[in-house]
Structure 1
């Protein structure tokens, strides 16, 4: 790799592509570049965690699709067709998601898969890949190259810098946090039905504003990911998270803490901003943001992974064709308007979250809900979904947004 030219952020690029961060978006971009057959790529991966070699399991990603994506199949832990939604009173609603499947993959399995594809690209496509275990402090754009400065002070230039680091939105009017604590639980005795997931369980105690739910994703009769999730303005304290997940384990008939039958193999924690703010994927000529930093997180649900893969596939295809990479919108504009209204209704207490989401699943076919949440629904499907929403709460939230600026015209939408 050629050395950086000191003091010249617009000087010769040391590499073709610098990737800042290897979470879901960074791994997905590497995967897409290899699958699209981009040749002769000089690539530098910069991340405080060397995911291409260490493969830590610190998170899971879930999404749904009509067909199991062939390029992700080897990283998937499980897929399900049958789901259940539990109402606030505990009553269950069984859903057949067909033709969709709900998929779960883990960070370590996906990182291993991508690492193998990167190694194959080095051997067959002429890639030269280096990994720098460091964080990126800031990035300076230029007309022909961009320069990233690491936390340790190293300056690196690249023809393109893809930045997947989380960042706050601009011009946000409403922001909630999706925060969760999960346990990967293993039991000696068979406790789970691996053919069915509990996708949303609203029988857990609810916050004054927002919504809380549990879920249980069994991968076999002895193993399941059990999580407690909240949409609210603030995170819980550590003791509160521990209390909530213990309580939810008890509700599922599991021991609240590890015993002779039940062990916790892994603890998962995360915070995902849900916002109507604006994310600019193109802050400069040579700097491109991907993932949540490019608006891939759905404002009303926090789901991100499917949109990430759609965006990185487009970017990789453009690079393979020798074109300027552009990140497409993750979701249609009309969906972002509806997300903004729902977020405001939840945040200001106009909308009781648990009854709202319960009715959403009860009053609509599962396919309609899934396609709406995925951002692939038609206007006709969306009109049907809107027809099942509490009109007074939504109209009040829309009016509140208009006092802050027209939700149909603000840049955040």
Structure 2
């Protein structure tokens, strides 16, 4: 019987396990993880216009968002979309509900030393497999990073009731732009508690200025939100390389999944919904074709769009606010979210691009296409 090994039990590994569990097959599946990066402290936000397999893992749902761009604050409904928040522990619980009743699913603790075409080496022992899905090692060569997405978030308790529990702030540009394009994201729990996150687009290899990030968060809470006294309950931070180039995901019988497989969207840093679609496509390919490689081709133009935006923003940070202002200028956020979901037509895209400086973006596009 074919054995499938999933290396890593993070977002992509668990999501793939869930989608495999609902497919009608009896191939033994082993999920290997060393437990060094616990899910308990993780959470993902995403938007979707349709039900999903792991919707039960979502702890919050929103039907509108707030944005502050080009000097104006707007509350936008999401149309057919909904914005959801999934915590790591809830995701793990939802996946185990699907896999625990199945005898051919096994979760194994162990460190993946390396990945080979016929399996994985776990703590020095070779584990044979027909198909390997890798979220921990990654391909031998990755495209260069176009930018770095650096974020620092505070989970705060504010003295005053300043947060709107029903409306997250997707981006607010009322924060200093002197060190690059930056905005603040606010995910509320209730009127007094929220995750307030400072996000910056930086040049590849640049180091985040931690003091400046904390200063920007403090200034936002005090002067923009008017929180009064507040307590920082937890701080979290990360820096994600953003790559618009295509990742070569397949190496023999190994398929790279998750962020290492290029599923982190280069222009936004969001990955949750992209991972869900990819996991469903892999499971469908195994079911229909007996292998995991019959995946839908992605339209190449969206990687070009992402790369062009990052090229422009790295040279002219103020262009990020202008771009977001153009995308979210409609009465609902649905047109922008559909574009970021890579589900728009070229005609819809041209309408969205109106309001952006055409010469700036066309020059960046020519340079990227010529040098690729």
Please give the TM-score of this superposition, normalised by the length of structure 1. Answer: 0.81
- Please tell me the root mean square deviation across aligned C-alpha atoms, in Å: 2.6
Match of 1:56 in 2: 39
CA distance in 1, matches of 2:216, 2:107: 42
Whole-Å Cα distance in 2 between the matches of residues 214 and 169 of structure 1?
Answer: 35
The within-5 A match list for 1:31-46 is 31-39=18-26, 41-46=27-32
Task: Give the one of 75, 93, 116 matched to 1:140.
Answer: 116
Mean CA deviation greater in 390-399 or 233-242: 233-242
Q: CA deviation at 1:255?
A: 5.1
**1:213 alignment counterpart:** 183
Take 1:256 and 1:110, find their aligned partners in 2: how far apart are those partners? 34
CA distance in 1, matches of 2:42, 2:237: 8
Deviation at 1:33, TM superposition (A): 1.1
Per-residue CA deviations over 1:24-48 (Å, capped at 9, x if unaligned) read 1111001111122433x42322222
Does 1:276 find its partner at 2:247?
Answer: no
**2:7 pairs with 17, 20, 24, which one?**
20
Correspondence 1:244-393 to 2 at 5 A = 244-250=216-222, 251-254=224-227, 258=231, 264=233, 266-284=234-252, 286-321=253-288, 323-326=290-293, 328=295, 331-349=298-316, 352-362=319-329, 365-393=332-360
CA distance in 1, matches of 2:242, 2:24: 35
C-alpha change, 1:155 and 1:200, in structure 2 (3 Å) is same
Cα distance in structure 1, aligned partners of 2:155 and 2:25 = 37
CA-CA distance at 1:383 after TM superposition: 1.6
Aligned counterpart, 1:29: 16
Pair 1:389–1:66, CA change in 2 (3 A):
same
Q: Which residue of 1 aligns with 2:211?
A: 239
Q: Distance in 2 between matches of 1:169 and 1:295?
A: 13
CA contact (8 A) 2:114 2:137 kept: no
Deviation, 1:50, is 7.1
Aligned partners of 2:134 and 2:256 also within 8 Å? yes
Could you say what secondary structure the match of 2:136 adopts? coil
Is 1:312–1:327's contact at 8 Å kept on the other side of the alignment?
no
- Structure 2: runs of 5+ lacking an equivalent: none
Cα deviation, residue 103, structure 1:
1.0
Q: How far apart in 2 are the matches of 1:204 and 1:188?
A: 22
Q: Is the 8 A contact 1:169 1:277 kept in 2?
A: no
Number of residue equivalences: 369
Contact 2:326-2:353 at 8 Å conserved across structures: no
Q: TM-score, normalised by structure 2?
A: 0.89
What is the distance in 2 between the residues matched to 1:46 and 1:277?
A: 29
Following superposition, which runs of at least 4 residues in structure 1 exceed 6 angstroms of deviation? none
Distance 1:87 1:370 in 2: 16
Deviation at 1:201, TM superposition (A): 0.3
